[in-house]
Amino acid sequence: MGNCNGNCSGCSGCAGMLEITKTELEVLRELGQIPFLPVARQMGEQTPVRPGEEAEEMSLALLCLEKKGLISLDYDQPLRGCDYGAYPVRGSFALTQRGQRVLELTEIQGVEA
């Protein structure tokens, strides 16, 4: 497991290896159960947050998963019935096709979080 420093190009050129943190793997697994989850951000900011979770680690995980091409963040697709609190920019995130493949491989290989 590794850390995303925001300077990679999606970690796709690492000799076929992809590093995923514990938090990233937990997000992927949650998306395996619930296909769309809420995401929000402050106006003029690029940092995604999960409503109800203010953890900086979660924001970093979402940014890294998007950069690795494993999830898509869509701020024009808010979820009905979700409490976004005071966040003015509301949307959702989901697995990409690549993210689905990586999730399936982690399950086949028995990767532990």
> For residue 95, is pLDDT > 90?
yes
Q: How confident is the model at residue 113, as a pLDDT?
A: 62
> For residue 112, is pLDDT > 50?
yes
DSSP state of 50: B
Domain 22-109 bears CATH identifier 1.10.10.10? yes
User: What is the chain's percent helix, strand, coil content, to nearest 5?
Assistant: 35, 15, 50
Domain ranges of the chain: 22-109
- pLDDT tens figures, 28-85: 999 999 999 999 999 999 999 999 887 889 999 999 999 999 999 999 999 999 999 9
With beta carbons less than 8 A apart as the criterion, state whether 62 and 93 touch. Answer: yes
> For residue 1, is pLDDT > 60?
no
Residue % of the chain over a pLDDT of 70: 85
- pLDDT tens figures, 45-60: 999 999 988 788 999 9
Compute CA distances 10 → 15, 51, 69, 80, 109, whole Å.
13, 25, 7, 31, 22
